[in-house]
Chain A
Amino acid sequence: MKLPVTMMKTPLTIKETQKGLLEKEFSAVELVDSYLSEIKKKDKGLNAFMTVTEDEAYKKAKYIDNSILKADFFESHSLFGAVVAYKDLFLTKGVRTTAGSRVLSSYVPAYSGTVVKKMEVAGAIMIGKTNCDAWAHGASGENSDYGPTKNPWNKEYVPGGSSSGSAVAVSAGMSLISVGTDTGGSVRQPANFCGVVGLKPTYGAISRYGVIAMASSLDTVGSFGHSIEDVETIFNTIKGEDGRDATVRNFQASSSKSQTNSKSKITIGVAKEYFAGGLDKEVENNINEAIKIYKKIGIDVKEISLPHTKYTVPVYYIVMSGEVSSNLGRFDGIRYGNGRDTFGAEAKRRIMLGTYVLSAGYYDAFYLKAQKVRSKIIEDFDNAFSQIDAIISPVFPTPPFKIGEKSDDPLQMYLADVYTAGANLAGIPGLSVPFEFSKKGPPMGFQLLGPRFSENILFDIGKKFHKEVGYVPSIAK
């Protein structure tokens, strides 16, 4: 029986969505009705959307409804019917794109980027553009020039950043899936605080053409969904060379030790440095709980060492800010956008820090030194991955915190990137896996890190966990 739109429970996965469409349980137009009504109901309080693309969504939905029964349509359209929201860092032709900054308050791109095009071709339905920390600078979602995004599980709490709106849109059922960027943790952190799955892929797996650049040697395009399967589907749809981002090469899956040698078990590493200090007890207990579950299902857990962990944040803030100052140098307010006086405080801080570490007399002591220590950090990961398949790690050193609680002290916020930024410096993938709720309410999970191009192994290890705990995604009311 068909339910009236307002009562329709939107499906939680791409598979359920496509099954419902093929079996005519609902139409794509009805799906769009339903997501739009959720946005209308919830987004005033959450501030996850910058722009809602109602007209475009209906147009695409009608196209899906008309084509769906044509032979081969769904086979050649991996994302058909999947409603998607893009972080406002992704250029969308004809749809305003702000990067969360007042500099681009009225910027309407003349072209769409590769990821947006690939998802479009795969049959996804764009529902809107999402709020984010301006220029993707932030770990909490509080640095947007358009006001902070709220955590849908408790509006007094931060959702994590910088892809805050993308995580919240999925978590609150305002979009089925979403896309963000991860330069130092910006997909994994909000996925962690919002209770959704988030993938930061291998550097060079997905083209950044048409994505506003933050730090070019670290930037990756990530995705959010309610299930690991969905994030995997998105990844497989958008990866690969496009001839427009010279860092991208076609994905060649690396096989895990257990896949290469069927006798050996999967081994997960626990870095002792990650538990050395500064880690909140509740987060530590949560990770230990996850480790126990992995041991229970016969996965080996081994202590490893990443000796340069304490330099992760200094190296990251030097390399990142240097690249930020260079990338944001192009915003001169002449060809598009407003003048440089419209940058917000965090962007100005990072531009100045980056200009400082690159300036004459400081380059060797800061930038060059950071690039060398970056090599040591990569070496640490390489050594670890010669003994294990993946690392299990906290995402954020504390449970979710309240809006405004840490925003007065930029350095304190920077330090929170210690568990995520290493993956960006090393170019390796990380999968944020939702697990439990914190004592204070909003969710918390853990992340799995693997060698370059080991996404398939991370998906596999993540799915094993969700299967064992009987994980069922839920929508924040």
Chain B
Amino acid sequence: MTQINADDVSHVAKLANLGLTDTEIKKFTPQLTKIIDYISELSEVDPKDVEPTSQTTGLTDVLRMDEVSSEQALTQDESLSGTDATHNGYFKVPAILSERTGK
């Protein structure tokens, strides 16, 4: 049985930038334990000499010309149309640096 505790769930939630409530952590811990225990069944197979599959098209190095066309571009207004949090034609974002205090 894979052991997943509430601390593991909090840690993963932090990595995924999900702010979970205590109630959610309580609910998700046993559910994720059960799911992870189930997917751990994979430990019983050990395919040798097998390349991992990341896609199924068989295509490699698909290239296109690096061209800009107005048809493929959005105007500034269109780009900003998804949010009300704008300032002088820019997106407003949460601050990641704080002002120096003192010294």
Contact = CB atoms under 8 A, between A and B. Distances in A.
A471 interface: no
Interface stretch (A9-17, A51-59, A63-71, A370-378): A370-378
B52 interface: yes
A311 interface: yes
A352 B74 contact: no
A247 B41 contact: no
Interface in B34-93: 34-36, 38-43, 45, 47, 50-57, 59, 62, 64, 74, 78-79, 81-83, 85, 91-93
Contacts of B19: 340-341
Interface string A318-355: 10000001000100101111001101010011011101
Interface stretch (A72-80, A106-114, A167-175): A106-114
A334 B9 contact: no
A253 interface: no
A204 B56 contact: yes
Contacts, number: 149
A155 B59 CA distance: 45
Nearest to A376: B47
Interface stretch (A28-36, A254-262, A361-369, A459-467): A361-369
Interface in A357-400: 357, 359, 365-366, 368-376, 378
Contacts of A314: 38-42
Given A349-B28, A355-B16, A110 B81 contact: yes
Contacts of A110: 74, 78-79, 81-82
A418 to B, nearest CB: 12
A243 B12 contact: no
Interface bracket on A: 35 or more
Nearest to B86: A335
Contacts of B85: 334
A311 B56 contact: no
Interface residues of B, number: 48
B57 A352 contact: no
A336 B16 CA distance: 19
A246 interface: yes
A147 interface: no
B56 A352 contact: no
B31 interface: yes
A437 interface: no
B55 A247 contact: yes
B86 to A, nearest CB: 10
B36 A356 contact: yes
A353 B19 CA distance: 15
Given A203-B56, A348-B18, A369 B12 contact: no
A311 B45 contact: yes
B97 interface: no
Interface string A179-209: 0000000000000000000000001100000
B18 A247 contact: no
B6 interface: no
Interface in A92-133: 107-108, 110-111
A249 interface: yes
Contact of B12 (A111, A315, A352, A368): A352
- The listed residue with most B CB atoms (<10 A of its CB), out of A355, A359, A366, is A355
A373 B45 contact: yes
A204 B53 CA distance: 15
B98 interface: no
B42 A369 contact: yes
Nearest to B48: A372
B17 A318 contact: no
A411 interface: yes
A305 interface: no
B18 A343 contact: yes
Interface of A: 107-108, 110-111, 203-204, 217, 243, 246-247, 249, 308, 310-311, 313-315, 317-318, 325, 329, 332, 334-337, 340-341, 343, 345, 348-349, 351-353, 355-357, 359, 365-366, 368-376, 378, 410-411, 414, 425-427, 452
Interface of B: 8-9, 12-13, 15-20, 24, 27-28, 31-32, 34-36, 38-43, 45, 47, 50-57, 59, 62, 64, 74, 78-79, 81-83, 85, 91-94
Given A246-B59, A452-B56, 8 more contacts: A314-B41, A348-B18, A353-B36, A366-B39, A366-B42, A370-B42, A376-B45, A410-B35
6 contacts: A107-B82, A110-B81, A349-B31, A352-B16, A373-B45, A414-B38
